[in-house]
Amino acid sequence: MPAASPIPADPLVSRAPPPAPEARRFEGADLLLTAPVFFLYHLGVVFLSVRNGCDPVTDLLLSVLDRSLAAYLGLTLGLGLVLALGVRLFRLGGTLNGRRVALRLGEATLYAVVMAVAARAVAAPLLGPREKLGPFAAVVSSMGAGFYEEVAFRVILFGLGAYLIGRWTKGVRRVLLEVGWALVAAFGFSAVHYVGSLGDSFALGSFVFRVVCGLVLTAIYRFRGFAAAVWTHAIYDVGVMV
């Protein structure tokens, strides 16, 4: 008796769809895409009298290096070289190329322009008078806010919470909890702008506006990744500060 041949798959019978891909948050290419923001800030901030409130690195390095500016700048440039070599050796950049970089930066610029237009149209009177910075200080400060505030509030605060929520629950409950945690992260992001000697005077309107900005940046991070959030934040700050 001949062996039964396998029944060919019916092309008309639909197969179960593959699971939806997880929202992208961080990948190796983000190291390269955000490196200019990181190094512009760290090479420039030592020439300013202020630091970003979420920056734990600059003063620590200066203390370790006995406040030597030359040593600090040399170490910062050395870190850039190590990063470039590491990305190349371990191929952390993935399929990163010029076209992809241009598309990502163009996307972030679009988000930033929309946010800046909204800020000027809706919230400029609410944010109050801002100390006028020169172009150099404004750009450096914007780079620091774009990098370190995204690390603090999107990667660490929101990202860690979202990761734990994903481990503990699934489905609609996971979505609802993630949205709730995004609100918590956005409230924290807004609140930090009123802390310290350089913080703004509290006003409900400006607080709510910054909460909305925090939610927008969280959505960008959640669905478009860390690099898109960093560049959006940095370009937005340049647009409103310069």
Instruction: Identify whether 21 is part of a domain.
Output: no
The pLDDT assigned to 16 comes to 44
DSSP label of 46 = G
Q: Is residue 6 part of a domain?
A: no
The CA distance from 158 to 193, in Å, is: 18
> What is the reported pLDDT for 203?
83
Residue 90 lies in a domain: yes
State residue 90's pLDDT score: 59
Q: Could you count the other beta carbons within 10 Å of the beta carbon of residue 197?
A: 5
Which token pair is 126? 């609410």
CA distance 175 to 158: 13
Distance CA 150, CA 159 (A): 10
pLDDT attached to residue 1: 46
Q: Would you say residue 60 lies in a domain?
A: yes
DSSP of 170-188: -HHHHHHHHHHHHHHHHHH
pLDDT at 17: 44
Residue 84: per-residue pLDDT: 73
182 in Cβ contact with 89 (< 8 Å): no
Could you tell me the residue range of the domain that residue 156 belongs to? 28-241
In a domain, residue 203? The reply is yes
pLDDT of residue 190: 93
CA distances from residue 204 to 25, 185, 233 in whole angstroms, order as listed: 31, 17, 22
**pLDDT for res 110:** 92
Residue 146 pLDDT: 94
Q: How far is CA 184 from CA 15, 112, 164, 191, 210, in A?
A: 40, 22, 15, 11, 13
Q: What is the spatial distance between Cα 133 and Cα 233, in angstroms, rounded to a whole number?
A: 18
Q: Answer whether residue 15 is part of any domain.
A: no
Q: For the chain, which ranges sit under pLDDT 50?
A: 1-22, 129
> Is 8 contained in some domain?
no
Q: How many domains does the chain have?
A: 1
- Note the pLDDT of residue 157: 96
The set of residues, in sequence order, having a beta carbon less than 8 Å from that of 138 and lying 6+ positions away, is 237, 238, 241, 242
Report yes or no on 19 lying in a domain.
Answer: no
What is the model's pLDDT at position 88?
Answer: 66
